[in-house]
Amino acid sequence: VCGAEGGIAQIAPWLLPVSLATLAVAALGALAAERLSACAAYLTVGSVGTMLAAFATGGADALAAALFSLVHRTFGAAALFLLAELAGRRRGAAGDAIGSGDVTINCALLGVTFLLVAASVAGLPPTSGFLGKLMILQAVRETPAAAWIWLVILAAGLITLLACVRAGISLFWDGKQERAGNVAEPSSAEWTPLVLLVACSMLLMVAAAPVKRHIDATAAQITDRADYIAAVLGASPERAPRALRERGGQ
């Protein structure tokens, strides 16, 4: 983002491979996770790898795509962690374990919520997760490493989908259709944050156009180094680079 003269130039050569490796390892970790909470943690790490891959390519378009993805993934990750908590409490001793073959969650609302969150996290259309992934893929298509970025992001998306399907089957389908023990039903105060997060994710999808315009303006402002330097040094935008060199800031 800072350009060839910025501090990011020192880490640019290895930022892209490290981000793609992070995404790949996190996706495999989510697929092998033994608990929904661990799966959510791996997917959160993977989202960081995706955004860093966009940052590593530079440019306002890639930065805007990463910022849009950041908003979406914040909602998705928080909702997934809350789902893991509610699911674990409802299953009693089985907790949020995946593949235990024990007791499934006999709760239609929780199941539908998990379906919506999983679709968004996996980047399935027409969710905001799909829009964020599409923006990143479009932003990096002209970069030399575009083929590798597309391959890793799409493969990680497929693995993420498999991880969510595996977790969903274990928690909501494969097992005895009953609730374990005398577990208290979640209160409205516990449901409200989860419902709000899912609603925000859906609203982001509906209002994608105005949000994208705002994020594009933000990315353009961030990547406009001349205006930033001028504001700091008190010089005009045209003289800002020269003023920076004169003050030894390069």
Of the listed ranges 5-9, 41-45, 96-100, 174-178, the one predicted with least confidence: 5-9
> Residue range 75-84: average pLDDT?
91
| Residue 197: predicted pLDDT | 92
| Residue 239: predicted pLDDT | 58
Whole-angstrom Cα distance, residue 103 to residue 126? 32
Q: Is residue 152 over pLDDT 80?
A: yes
> Residue range 196-218: average pLDDT?
91
Q: Is residue 153 over pLDDT 80?
A: yes
Tens of pLDDT, residue by residue over 2-44, are 444 444 445 567 888 999 999 999 999 999 999 999 999 999 9
Whole-angstrom Cα distance, residue 198 to residue 114? 10
Q: Is residue 108 over pLDDT 50?
A: yes
Q: Is residue 243 over pLDDT 60?
A: no
- For the entire predicted model, the pTM comes to 0.79
| Residue 31: predicted pLDDT | 94
| Residue 232: predicted pLDDT | 72
> Residue range 211-216: average pLDDT?
91
Cis peptide before 13 (omega within 30 of 0): no
| Residue 88: predicted pLDDT | 80
Q: What DSSP assignment string belongs to 115-180? A: HHHHHHHHT-TTSHHHHHHHHHHHHTTTSTTHHHHHHHHHHHHHHHHHHHHHHHHHHHTSSBSS--
| Residue 249: predicted pLDDT | 47
What is the band of 218 on the pLDDT scale with cuts at 50, 70, 90? Answer: confident
Whole-angstrom Cα distance, residue 91 to residue 58? 46
Of the listed ranges 37-41, 68-72, 188-192, the one predicted with least confidence: 188-192
| Residue 169: predicted pLDDT | 85
Whole-angstrom Cα distance, residue 64 to residue 55? 9
